[in-house]
Amino acid sequence: MVHQSVLLQEVVEGLRGERGEVILDATVGGGGHTEALCGKLCGNAENGNTAATTFVCLDADEDAVERSRQRLLNFTREGKRAHCRFLFRQINYRHLDQALREFGISGINRAFFDLGFSSFQLEESGRGFSFMRDEPLLMTFAKDSNTDAVTAETILNEWKEETLVTLLKGYGEERYAKRIAGAIIAARAKTPIRTTGELRAIIESAISRHRKVHPATKTFQALRIAVNDEFRGLTEGLSKAWDALLPGGRIAVISFHSLEDRAVKNFFRELDKTGVGTAITKKPIVPSGDELTRNPRSRSAKLRILEKTRAYVQQ
């Protein structure tokens, strides 16, 4: 399946970028959103404005960085987008301040986070993100992880039953957490759980398949969040993007499940409440009917946008 960028025009219009700014794409993925922003801002010079717009393109996934690099550099070679400058770095957005320092950038005008998974990660990474394939149970964003890194296999074979129940409830909102955890404990007592196919079979044997979504969906979500420490990473990434954002700048975030959206909403709400930020989206923007038809995977996407007040003074 070809990856389709979600809420593409809504992001471009909501960020309200201007030529010559510094724009951070904290999760560049396949490069679709940055390509659209470049096309909007960096066409032929208008009114004599030839200032280059700088795009800082980050991703924890090495393959994603390379895909976006090829896509965006080919895009600019068309000759129409001569005023886009791209800086690429393979790094988790929780360390975006480090990347900005390395590029010599002290402030940004726009920041964008797409918290979803690309089709490439689900279908081609080989790291166990999808229960539709039989792959090693890694679930790490980084392609070449530290040998000491916690993986989904580690969690499934070493964590205690009560910890697994807490994990599945807290990160997966799985109502059958106790039943699934019990099945995992029973299965690993016979032989270690090594692949996504084995885990999927365990879950299917534990709970009914007559559900709107596959019974393994929430368990896989919970494991991925735990392996990558996603919620703490999201809070750190948003905080660092906010610190780097210049007055009048905007942050846009697309989330894909209720726990992510709640974290983003609370972060934005606190800044809005104190007056240092203004929530541009009082309610999240969701995909149109047309987009849902074209791309059913976009169905759970929610876009929220926050602007730093122009009178903001760094504390």
DSSP states along 174-231: -TTHHHHHHHHHHHHHHS---BHHHHHHHHHHHS-S-SSS-TTHHHHHHHHHHHHTHH
Backbone angles phi and psi of 105, in degrees to 5: -105, 125
Helices (H) and strands (E) in the chain, counts: 13, 7
The verdict on whether residue 70 carries a ligand-binding annotation is no
The verdict on whether residue 121 carries a ligand-binding annotation is yes
Q: Which domains does the chain have, with CATH numbers?
A: 8-120+230-308 (3.40.50.150), 124-228 (1.10.150.170)
Residue 265 identity = K
Helix (H) or strand (E) holding 305: strand 302-308
The verdict on whether residue 32 carries a ligand-binding annotation is yes
Q: What is the pLDDT of residue 312?
A: 67
Whole-structure pTM value? 0.91
Answer yes or no: is pLDDT of 82 > 70: no
Q: What is the pLDDT of residue 210?
A: 67
Q: What is the pLDDT of residue 75?
A: 83
The verdict on whether residue 275 carries a ligand-binding annotation is no
Answer yes or no: is pLDDT of 228 > 70: yes
What mean pLDDT comes out for the span 87-104? Answer: 97
Answer yes or no: is pLDDT of 294 > 50: yes
- State how far the Cα of 116 lies from the Cα of 233, in Å rounded to an integer: 14
What mean pLDDT comes out for the span 127-146? Answer: 84
DSSP character string of 16-74: T--TT-EEEETT-TTSHHHHHHHHHHSSS-BTTB-PPEEEEEEES-HHHHHHHHHHHHH
Answer yes or no: is pLDDT of 1 > 50: no
The verdict on whether residue 221 carries a ligand-binding annotation is no
Q: What is the pLDDT of residue 3?
A: 60
The verdict on whether residue 31 carries a ligand-binding annotation is yes
- State how far the Cα of 28 lies from the Cα of 226, in Å rounded to an integer: 22
- Candidates 135, 127, 106, 120; CA nearest to 70 is 120
Beta-carbon contacts of residue 179 (< 8 Å; ≥ 6 apart): 206, 207
Residue 274 identity = T
The verdict on whether residue 314 carries a ligand-binding annotation is no
Asked if 20 and 51 count as a contact pair (C-beta separation under 8 A), the reply is: yes
- State how far the Cα of 301 lies from the Cα of 32, in Å rounded to an integer: 16
- Candidates 224, 169, 231; CA nearest to 199 is 224
Answer yes or no: is pLDDT of 43 > 70: no
- State how far the Cα of 85 lies from the Cα of 127, in Å rounded to an integer: 32
pLDDT digits (tens, 9 = 90+) for 49-64: 678 899 999 999 898 8
Q: What is the pLDDT of residue 81?
A: 62
